Amino acid sequence: MRSAELIEMLRDARRRTLDLVSDLTDRQMEVPLLPIINPPIWEMGHVAWFWERWALRHLRGEEPVRPWGDAVWDSAAVAHDTRWRPDAPSRVETWNYMQEVLDRVIERLPAGEVSDQEAYFYWLATMHEDMHDEAFTYTRQTLGYAAPLGTVETPRRGDARTRGHGDVEVPGGTWMLGAMPGTVFVFDNEKWEHPVEVRPFRIARWPVTNGEFGDFVNDGGYRRREWWSEEGWTWREQERSEHPLYWVPRGNGGWMRRHFDQVVPLGEDIPVIHVNWYEAEAYCRWVGRRLPTEAEWEMAAAGGPGGKREFPWGEKPPTPERAHLDARSVGCSPLGSVPAGASAFGCQEMIGNTWEWTADDFQPYPGFVIDPYKEYSQPWFGPERKVLRGGCWATRSRLIRNTWRNFYTKDRRDVFGGFRTCAAD
C-alpha cells in the first residue's frame, strides 16, 4: 500500500471525527453519565491515543506524547464511569493533542510503498476511529442532538416493487465461514474461514421495515408474553417498553419517530432500526419465522457462482448505487434505493442501511489467535453478545465486507441495528 493512500485514509478519518464533534457546544460536550455512551471529549482523545499507541509507540518505539495519556485514554485500563473525571483534559488540550499525534504519525510514514506488516497498524488505527465515528453518530441520536455535519442530505427514492417481497431460496451445503487466509486487513474474530454445514433455507429478500414491525406493535406485540423468551420478557418489563426506541405515538393511532432532534414521519418503507435482539426475536415468533444464523447470513450475502464474494454484488468496492454507507444521507433510506447491491441469490441491502442481528452468540472461530490489539474481540466472547452483520448507513465503506462481525449485548437498541428473517424450519 502506498504511503499517500494511507495518509489520505488517516486524514479522511480525522475529518469525519471533527465533523461529528466540531459543532457541539461546550454544554453539549458535558453529557450525562450513561452506560451506552462516552464523554465526547474523552472519546476524541481516545481515538488519537490509539493512533499513538500503535503507529508511534508500537511501530516506531517512541515515547508517549503525553506522559499521563495512558491513565486518561486507555479504554482497557480506564473504567467507563471514571471517564467523566473533573480533571480531564480540556477541549482545546484534546484538540491540540489530536493534531500533534496526526502530524507525528504522518511524518513518520516512509515515502513510497509501505509493507503490509507496517500498513496494518495504520489500517488498524483508521478502522478504530471509523468505529468510534459511528459511535459519535449514535451518541448524537441518543442525546437528541442535531443530525451531524459532514453528511449530505440527498433524499433517496425507494422502489414500490419491494412491497410483498418474500424470500429467496439458498440451497445450503458446506459453507466456508469467515475471512479467507491471506487477507491482510481483517480482524481476529473473522479468522479464518472454516467449514460449516448449512441446511437449505429461505431468507427474506429485504430487512424488516418500520411498516412491518409496526403491525407487530399494533397487534399488542409488546404486551403479549407468548412472543417473548423469558430473558426477553424480563428485559421488556424492566424497561417498560411498549414500542421501538424513539418511536413517538401519533394522535390517530399511528407512529412517528425521533430522528436526532426532529420528530419525523415513521417511514413505513425504511428498515426498522434501533431494535435490540430481544425485540427482533419476539417479532420473529409473532410472524412465525426466525433470525438467520451467521453462516446463513454470510452464505446468502457471499455465496453463488464463481466462489465466495467480498461483497454481495461481487468484488468491486461499495458505491452509492450498491450500498447506503458513509452517511451519504442521514438515516436509513427506503428499500430499493440501491438497486445494484443484490447478492447472487437475490438478497437486497445486506451491506449498508442497517446492521442486522443474527441468531448466534459472539464466539471465536476454531483456532482463534489474538491479534496485536488483544482487547478488540477476546474479552467480549460469550452468550451475552450476539453477532450483527452488514454495516449501516453511518458505517464507513472502507471498513465493511461480508465477513465483518459486529457484536453487542442483546439489550442494546441505541445502535443502528435492525434485522431480516428466515422461514421457520
pLDDT digits (tens, 9 = 90+) for 149-194: 756 655 556 664 554 469 999 999 999 999 999 888 999 999 999 9
Q: How far is CA 215 from each of CA 161, 246, 256, rounded to the nearest angstrom?
A: 20, 17, 14
What do you get for the CA distance between the two ends of the chain, in Å?
46
- 90 and 26 in contact (C-beta within 8 Å)? no
Q: Is 114 helix (H, G, I), strand (E, B) or coil?
A: coil
CB-CB neighbours of 92 under 10 Å: 9
pLDDT digits (tens, 9 = 90+) for 35-68: 999 999 999 999 999 999 999 999 999 999 999 9
Name the one residue in this structure whose C-alpha cell is 471525527.
17
pLDDT of residue 160: 45
CB-CB neighbours of 171 under 10 Å: 11
pLDDT digits (tens, 9 = 90+) for 74-91: 999 999 999 999 999 999
Question: b/e per residue, 327-355, with b = 16+ CB within 10 A?
Answer: bbbbbbbbbbbbeebbbbbbbbbbbbbbb
Identify the sign of the CA torsion 43, 386, 378, 312.
negative
pLDDT at 361 over 80: yes
pLDDT of residue 38: 98
pLDDT at 12 over 90: yes
Reduced 3-state DSSP string for 74-86? CCCCCCHHHHHCC
Between β-strands 355-362 and 417-418, what pairing exists: parallel, antiparallel or unpaired?
Answer: parallel
pLDDT of residue 275: 98
Query: In the structure, what pLDDT confidence band is assigned to residue 252 with cuts at 50, 70 and 90?
Result: confident
pLDDT digits (tens, 9 = 90+) for 106-145: 999 999 999 999 999 999 999 999 999 999 999 999 999 9
Determine the Cα–Cα distance for residues 335 and 348; give it in Å rounded to an integer: 9
Question: CA nearest 329: which of 151, 74, 86?
Answer: 151
pLDDT digits (tens, 9 = 90+) for 256-285: 999 999 999 999 999 999 999 999 999 999
Mean pLDDT of 194-220: 98
- Assess whether the previous peptide bond of 192 is cis (omega < 30° from 0): yes
pLDDT of residue 158: 62
Indicate the Cα dihedral angle 376, 381, 384, 385, nearest 10°: 60
Lowest mean pLDDT among 206-210, 274-278, 305-309, 360-364: 305-309
| Domains of the chain, start order | 3-143 (1.20.120.450), 160-209+280-423 (3.90.1580.10)
Determine the Cα–Cα distance for residues 239 and 252; give it in Å rounded to an integer: 25
Average pLDDT of every residue of the chain: 95
Percent of the residues in the chain that have a pLDDT greater than 70, as a whole number: 96
